[in-house]
Amino acid sequence: MLTLCLDIGGTKVAAGLADARGALVHTATCPTPPGGSAEQVWAAVAAMIAGALREAGGAVRAVGIACSGPIDLNSGTVNPINIPGWDGFPLADRVAAAVPGVPVRLGGDGVCMALGEHWRGAGRGAGFLLGMVVSTGVGGGLVLNGAPYAGRTGNAGHVGHVVVEQDGERCSCGGRGCVETVAAGPWLVRWARANGWSAPPDADAHALADAAASGDAVALRAFHRGARALAAMIASVGAACDLDLVVIGGGVAQSGGLLFDPLRAALADYARLDFLTALRVVPAELGGQAGLVGAARLAGV
Ligand SMILES: [Zn+2]
């Protein structure tokens, strides 16, 4: 029997059906209703669940949910920064009511991404893994000693909010100087514009990557600055958690060597302790499906 997996974020809701080896035999996505109320967002999720159950012939063995954070595993509620309508929303209970009689497991989208890459992607065989997504924000999750590490409330691995600039910009989390405010796509673009990059108003991080690839000096500096901030965070988290591998996915990471080359160079400068010299940083392999695969793993496929 198949496992139903969900990946719920600020821009889209994805549903999938995974077999026992973690292969997705069905996937579907819909946009997250922008600015939607709690029930409007839930209606989108419920429709995706209903569609997946029809595909499965009505029965699944378990449900795994990846949801953007923060979440609260103790109450099964979620309070995602990027879904304002869900403020303490009882997601685990709602899903359990929609799919009665089977186990339901909730996890953060970062830990599910890390778990998916660990199971079937670039993190196979790693013992102590940080999985990260660098796109419009910076997210992450930990797999420690081969198992997902959720922490006290389910929010361990929120590495986008590791502070790398003590007097830095105000972050979406309310804090200041988080690595997200330096390395996330919109922040790369904002810095580049403030430092003389001239581009159309709708130019995004992809356009910035194109400019950097063509040799634009400001665009290149923006990527170097973002890469150094990520390296500082990775060195810190690597030291705290004694990691052996970091897997990076997301739109900004798709710029390849533009990000990875300066990141690895800066990491070699920051991470000098003996136990960190073997720490490797590699691109993710599963793309947007890592969260679904990890949610299925979390559900105990
Ligand atoms: Zn923050």
93: tokens are: 């209970």
Q: Which DSSP string corresponds to 222-281?
A: HHHHHHHHHHHHHHHHHHHHT-SEEEEESTGGGGTHHHHHHHHHHHHHH--SGGGTT-EE
Cα 177 to middle of ligand 1, angstroms: 7
Alpha carbon of 54 to ligand 1 centroid (Å)? 40
CA–centroid distance, residue 163 to ligand 1 (Å) = 8
Give 136 Cα–ligand 1 centroid separation in angstroms: 13
Alpha-helix runs per DSSP H in the chain: 38-55, 91-98, 109-120, 180-183, 185-194, 205-213, 217-241, 257-270, 290-298
* 14 φ/ψ angles, rounded to the nearest 5 degrees: -115, 145
Q: How far is the CA of 84 from the centre of ligand 1 (A)?
A: 16
Ligand 1 geometric centre to CA of 34 (Å): 22
Q: What is the mean pLDDT of residues 150-155?
A: 96
Residue pointed to by tokens 């997301």: 250
Tell how strand 245-249 and strand 280-283 pair up.
parallel
Over residues 258-273, mean pLDDT: 97
Q: Confidence band (pLDDT; 50, 70, 90) for 229?
A: very high
Cα of 142 from ligand 1 centre, angstroms: 18
pLDDT tens for 10-57 read: 999 999 999 999 999 999 999 999 999 999 999 999 999 999 999 999
What is the pLDDT, as a whole number, of residue 267?
A: 98
Ligand 1 centroid – CA 162 distance (Å): 7
Is the per-residue pLDDT at 125 higher than 90?
yes
Task: Average the pLDDT over 123-133 and give the result.
Answer: 97
Question: Does residue 219 register a pLDDT over 90?
Answer: yes
Mean predicted confidence (pLDDT) in 193-211: 95
pLDDT reported for residue 190? 97
The answer to whether 93 touches 111, Cβ cutoff 8 Å, is no
The Cα–Cα gap between 6 and 45 comes to 8
Ligand 1 center–CA 277 separation, angstroms: 28
